[in-house]
Amino acid sequence: MKYEQISNSLFIKNRKKFMDRMQSKSIAVFNSNDIYPISADATLAFEQHRDIFYLSGADQEETILILFPDAINNKHREVLFVRETNDHIAVWEGAKLTKEKATEVSGIESIYWLSDFDKVFFDLMTEADTIYFNTNEHYRQAVETQTREDRFIEKCKKGFPAHQYAKSNPILQQIRGIKEPEELELMQAACDITEKGFRRLLGFIKPGVWEYEIEAELLHEFVRNRSKGFAYQPIIASGNNANVLHYVENNQQCKSGDLILMDVAAEYANYSSDLTRTVPVNGKFTQRQKEVYTAVLRVKNEATKMLVPGVLWAEYHKECGKILTSELLGLRLLDKADVQNENPDWPAYKKYMMHGVSHHIGLNTHDYGELKTPMKANMVFTVEPGIYIPEENMGIRLEDDVVIQESGEPFNLMGNIPIEVDEIESLMAK
């Protein structure tokens, strides 16, 4: 791992929060992700399942975590299984977690080799009535492959048909959505790396550069600051490409007079940041570009102020829609008749902004977190309004990551990243 080791006190706290919410005589199991094949002997780079990382800090394939608060033997209340290493593996793949290192990383005393899992698990299941399965219930999930977790669930249901089943996800939605101070520090680190990348770009972007060259500059800056790279697939969209919300080809040349929308950010220690900035390719906004840009910035600033404890996510988005509608009227993109005759299920402003304004962020870019209950302090949300005008060859989105505070306005983790028109133009002029 490129990142500095995280104090295991974070994972000890996270496990306690989860176990405090478990039913009596229940056991929970969490599996690492597979390493996914491409073809021949090629594989994708390993990415740890964020739930087992959140609860253990173990960032290695073929790892299993068991939580069993009511285990008769105290040493089996938290158990971590890791892949047994040897000299051959060390030569070809590098060092893996030893039992001692696994304890140091996770704070878990009971470490077994993975080959012992079936025996230990069977013994523990004789004491348990209920098993928590870790199914993916994120509101945006679209998984088509069978995961390691899926295979475990299938095997477990066949092997233990008399047990009751419960879901880990509702507990994880509750606890992962509210960040611990250590998590906020890691997210700030990711945002600080993102800032370095963005500032690097302001001196690099000019007419004639290619979108992929900008991507390369960012990757260089991210990796040299201990990030694995992008927190998500980068969007570097010049001109009308910005009106394709998930444009990821990044293969066009940037032209003078165009804007370039960059939805790009670094990860750090598996925690995401999520930034969007839109800048003029030639370093100067036209008057119309400036009008639309400042309208989007006003929406972002007003939306940010509304992220306070007690607010409902759905109501927040309705209020953001009203603010955006007002700005679109001022920009002459909508008129009063458009608003009066709008479909309540698809308001008039949706013609120019089709996506939501905010989502949870943390270990996932679109992170776990409750959406149907009031917002709470230490939840972290993106704020990312946009206005997209294909007929004017222009798409503008601005995005920061903010932490809800117990009182007062949210804290902007990206508050040091340039966003005002004058500052953008001044830095690009240098």
pTM: 0.96
Same domain, 110 and 154: yes
Same domain, 262 and 364: yes
Amino acid 134: pLDDT: 97
Output the CA torsion sign for 202, 206, 212, 217.
negative
Same domain, 283 and 263: yes
Cα dihedral 111, 114, 116, 122, rounded to 10, equals: 100
Same domain, 217 and 366: yes
**Count of beta carbons in the 10 Å neighbourhood of residue 213:** 16
The answer to whether residue 4 sits within a structural domain is no
Contact 136, 169 (CB under 8 A): yes
Query: How far, in Å, CA of 160 to CA of 403, rounded?
Result: 43
Amino acid 408: pLDDT: 87
Question: 329: burial class by Cβ within 10 Å (0-12, 13-18, 19+)?
Answer: middle
26 closest CA partner among 71, 76, 73, 74: 71
* Cα–Cα distances in angstroms (integers) from residue 31 to residues 43, 60, 182, 207, in the given order: 19, 11, 23, 48
Same domain, 249 and 315: yes
| Encoded tokens for 64 | 């299993």
Same domain, 299 and 323: yes
Instruction: Give per-10-residue mean pLDDT for the chain (430 aa).
Output: 96 98 98 94 95 98 98 98 84 86 98 97 98 93 90 97 97 97 98 98 97 98 98 98 97 98 98 98 98 98 98 96 98 96 94 97 96 97 98 98 95 98 97
* Cα–Cα distances in angstroms (integers) from residue 193 to residues 45, 146, 230, 264, 270, in the given order: 21, 34, 11, 11, 13
Phi, psi at residue 158, to the nearest 5°? -70, -40
Amino acid 13: pLDDT: 98
Same domain, 277 and 226: yes
The answer to whether residue 262 sits within a structural domain is yes
The residue behind tokens 């094949």 is: 37
220 closest CA partner among 230, 233, 211: 230
Phi, psi at residue 113, to the nearest 5°? -75, 150
Same domain, 260 and 354: yes
The answer to whether residue 110 sits within a structural domain is yes
Same domain, 382 and 318: yes
Query: How far, in Å, CA of 398 to CA of 279, rounded?
Result: 10
The answer to whether residue 239 sits within a structural domain is yes
Query: How far, in Å, CA of 102 to CA of 98, rounded?
Result: 6
331 closest CA partner among 359, 352, 307, 308: 352
Structural domain that includes position 75: 9-176
Out of 149, 176, 203, pick the residue that ends a domain: 176
Same domain, 220 and 150: no
DSSP secondary structure string for all residues of 134-203:
-----TT----SPPHHHHHHHHHHHH-TTSEEEESHHHHHHHHTB--HHHHHHHHHHHHHHHHHHHHHHT
The answer to whether residue 2 sits within a structural domain is no
Output the CA torsion sign for 325, 328, 329, 334.
negative
The residue behind tokens 């073929």 is: 62
Amino acid 88: pLDDT: 78
Contact 275, 263 (CB under 8 A): yes
Same domain, 187 and 139: no
Contact 216, 203 (CB under 8 A): no
Query: How far, in Å, CA of 103 to CA of 110, rounded?
Result: 8
